[in-house]
Chains A and B, each alone.
Chain A
């Protein structure tokens, strides 16, 4: 039966899609939607001769990705304005950072919540400013709240009451209970400002919140230097991507995260030959060498032709990452369960894991396997 390798193949080698039969197209599109990669696929296949029905679906996906991009940038701009009086750095993370930096990883990418990172001591300040600007807590449950504050790498999620958009405010990139403890302070210190951050006052190009319009106005000078937004340095962006891929969840959505990793490393390496060396050093500093190396092997194996240097364990990861059939259903139940347990074991010491699973179980949560 078809698995997500059909999607991997189309992303790796868009020309190969020319040979797909109608049945394979249907499976490919369904799997790409389920893996949140339909927009990415649409950009990859741009310019390829495809059947009419496929073309219409891919055009929709591209337009939809453009709307998501604009919405994500606007949300970032709203956060920037809400935090305009905050003196520290506000770092955009994940999808929003990729589109704001105009990186290839952002092309067609689906973007849900806004993720930002601020310095840990400033969390109460930032929280208060967001609450004042219309964000509200999503959960009221004391257990979840205490759990977040004691053990997680972010505040409990907040949602904006007018725009219905969620924000996750991080102070580091991995749960505090995880084994690697990345150097969050160094990541903040090395974060770089976006070329020109600005909402209303900014110019039209590559600006937070702007779309390319034919009738774009000439750039207007920024009103002040304050209220800039930042993104991680290239090395830290890649380290975060790898950490997120393996630690934050049970590899659900892993193909998408791995595609991010692939695009980031390719693009950074192409523009800077010294990037790989600095990435290794930085990964070591953060205790993320194993994660970055595995992500690199998996990404090369799946997304680069002719790279087959993988370990036996890597093969398990690949089985997990591609566990999806042509109907869009998740498959390989057992291997997914194994990864689910493993993901929690990575995040928590054994006793805490037991307590966590017990509490969740009593409340009726079951791993959706």
Chain B
């Protein structure tokens, strides 16, 4: 079993994918569903097992049995730690949920959908588990290739094609950028194993190391959709089939960030250690900018999936802020936050999918007052919106609490206001949607505002009065898991230990290259959750107030007109910048890389 389990989260889904492709159209739909679900279920189990096992030290698994010679790696390793295994387990669970949801959702073309989903799954697992930088790139590309195809799945419409094009071009450029960085590193160290590169780089921090760091980081940040690399995300989410959105928002974007953290802690930490303060400042500013832009743009949308997509952008900004603390408490908080957010956002997208299935539209203004017909979906949405603002016991608040206490020690306590701001605005946006759809509050459709680009999309199903259990139950399960994770005993302590393991560069190198024994990690005692609880409740109340103000009936709106005028004064130019033009996206991408690179170059030399 020890020979099989570490490789199986990649090998099993890929084998099943190939099998399903070979028998395309010759097997019944239900059998294909069952096989695909079985493969993803297997990945969940295997990854959970790896998660348990690796909490006592890294699992280092050499593909092809090529153990390192004299401390030099000659093969590819899976280097599995609890956070990596956790990411893979979470990705597999979301794939499973998405497959269950789509069982009655798609009028699928042969088995192509299943094949692509399984390839996507295998890529995400490999991406989380690998310990080799080029292998990371290969799985990054596999993830992208499957994602592009899934994104353009609904070829009958014009939107998906344009969204997929923007997605594909920007992400491919990001991948080439990361590959160039990898080339630079290889030119310096002659190694591809991350542990060995880290060892070989040591403390040097010349131009090459900085350039490699910035290029690899920016390549992955394109996937993580940080401003100014974020444009593709809203487009891709707005058009991808709903079950696929769950994966994009719930885990794929976060995996971009995971890769940044992995790369930093295994390879560059030694080199950049004396510039920790500057690194922190740069990433915090980037994250804060992203959180604010994402939140504002989210509030301005009426296409519900696009709204959710911008909210994801806002939350990845917060996640980058958490990573930027470069402390184990914040990293543990980040892990919990990703989990909570992924469950929540997944459930939100699924409920949007139910709306689309039931009412045939995804435009907030079109759906005004129609929610009574789809009461379960809109009711769920209300619940979920509260989670976005971090109300306890929703899982995100656990993460926020950890991040806050870590930030406080680093004199960054002001970032908790950013967390509150992003939480309030994105939650208010979803509450507004739910209020408008379910209760029919707020303005009616204003036909004068037509030049807004895509606001709606076609059905993905044949529609129907009934919402099948395969759609409703997964949504509910995600919601309950998101609530339940707060009650797992010792979760925070265990995650902190895992984060310490993740960040220990020296122990990582010794375990990978020299079979060293793992050290034991003893995190601090649990801190009080009370401030987090209070803050969560305050944000939720504020979110309710903001949403209420927006939805006020006409006569009462007068009072806040000046305020909303101010808001749209800020929003207008921001929306114009999101032009939907691929050239703009690439120009901003280059500008982002140049700016981040320039800042690092300035600080380090």
Q: A and B, one complex? A: no
Chain A residues near B (Cβ < 8 Å): none
Chain B residues near A (Cβ < 8 Å): none
